[in-house]
Amino acid sequence: MKKAVQLTGLSQTELVSFVETLGEPAYRGRQLFAALQHRRQRSFDEITDLPKDLRSRLSDIANAATLKIESRYLSDDGTRRYLMKTHDNLPVETVFIPEERRDTICFSSQSGCPLQCTFCLTAQLGLLRSLTAGEIVEQIQIALNDAYGTGVKPPRGTNLVAMGAGEPLLNLDELLKALRVMADPQGMHIVPNRVTVSTAGIVPRILDLAQTSDRPHLAISLAAPTDELRDELMPINKRWPIDELLSACKVFEKTLKPNERLTFEYVMLDGVNDSDEQARQLANLLNRHNIKSKVNLIPHNPADPLPYRPSPDETVERFKHILESKGVHTYVRRPRGRDIFAACGQLAARQVTLTSLVGADT
């Protein structure tokens, strides 16, 4: 059987070419793009500005949507977590985080993850497969439709972070394709400047991203100030150790815009990487490489069966103080959605029974 074309991953130009191969005029492609990407309609039946016979032909050969919501959880703090399934039955997780000024959607770039960060539950799934551009776009559409309704313009802007399951730089081509589709002003119009991609440190892809003109912002998950500890927490460090990683960041730095900084994410693990000495080592490391950057301290999110506890608040504050006293811009990220396993490092296709369960669509 011929594989159905996944339309959500196609740019407006590609959709125009696609409908032209069906003998339709170009404006039908633009109509289709507006329906899928601007109004976020997920079924051909809803696209009533297209003739019925065209809709019926499209449904024979293409998909307007492929992801299905399996479960949807609502946290006490308003965070929503979606557990979805691909057409081939693989888990995909997405988190919608409402914030005062703009919403943030944390999406997955892969189903599972091939890297083996020891503080992350997703690692235990292994890599199931990388997601397609269409599957990345659909995660954003599903979250926005659920929060605001199909076709409703989000009242606030949308930030995207590629910090869900997977290592985004191991799926860079599909990721960039999805970001280009979403940046179209006649679609969702979420520009790369609103997107942050977080990597465990895939050095050659960081260098590729540095050469990409419409690139998103970059965050590096560091988690340790020394190779010895990072080898243990993030085994990818054995392939690309800290100095090599920071040298790639130095190259990337040349592409930063005036107000832009590279972000280093540092998950805080009680008694593992949060001592005063480690704060000084981290500050010295970053100062030695002298990269225009900031550090986000992320209190670890408890996730059984992982053997870590979050650093106490006082420890996080002291760590921050030491970094700042050495001139490092430092922020503490407030964990969101911990109660529904939506927080960083907790995504592992986990079904939970909660009083705050808001129901499940399919």
Q: Does 122 bind ligand SF4 (CB under 6 A)?
A: yes
Q: How many CB atoms are located within 10 Å of the residue 227 CB?
A: 15
Q: Does 165 bind ligand SF4 (CB under 6 A)?
A: yes
Q: Does 117 bind ligand SF4 (CB under 6 A)?
A: yes
Q: Could you identify the residue written with the tokens 């691909």?
A: 86
Give dist(CA 110, CA 119) in Å, integer. Answer: 18
End-to-end Cα, the chain, rounded Å: 25
The site map against ligand SF4 for 63-82 (x = CB under 6 A) is --------------------
Q: Does 113 bind ligand SF4 (CB under 6 A)?
A: yes
Closest listed residue to residue 243, CA positions, set 260, 256, 261, 230:
230
CB 68 within 8 A of CB 85: yes
Q: Does 115 bind ligand SF4 (CB under 6 A)?
A: yes
Q: Which of residues 118 and 255 has its CB atom nearest to ligand SF4 in the complex?
A: 118
Is 99 one of the annotated active-site residues of the chain?
Answer: no
Q: Which of residues 115 and 242 has its CB atom nearest to ligand SF4 in the complex?
A: 115
CB 96 within 8 A of CB 103: yes
Q: Does 123 bind ligand SF4 (CB under 6 A)?
A: yes
Q: Which of residues 63 and 111 has its CB atom nearest to ligand SF4 in the complex?
A: 111
Active-site annotation holder among 93, 138, 253, 265: 93
Q: Which of residues 267 and 286 has its CB atom nearest to ligand SF4 in the complex?
A: 267
Is 93 one of the annotated active-site residues of the chain?
Answer: yes
Q: Does 167 bind ligand SF4 (CB under 6 A)?
A: yes
Residue 167 CB, shortest distance to ligand SF4, in Å, is 4
- From 162-170, 257-265, 325-333, 349-357, give the range in contact with ligand SF4 by CB under 6 A: 162-170
Q: Which residues, 6 or more positions from 155, have their beta carbon under 8 angstroms from its beta carbon?
A: 148
Residue 268 CB, shortest distance to ligand SF4, in Å, is 14
Annotated catalytic residues are 93, 344
Contact residues for ligand SF4 (CB under 6 A)?
113, 115, 117, 120, 122-123, 165-167, 200
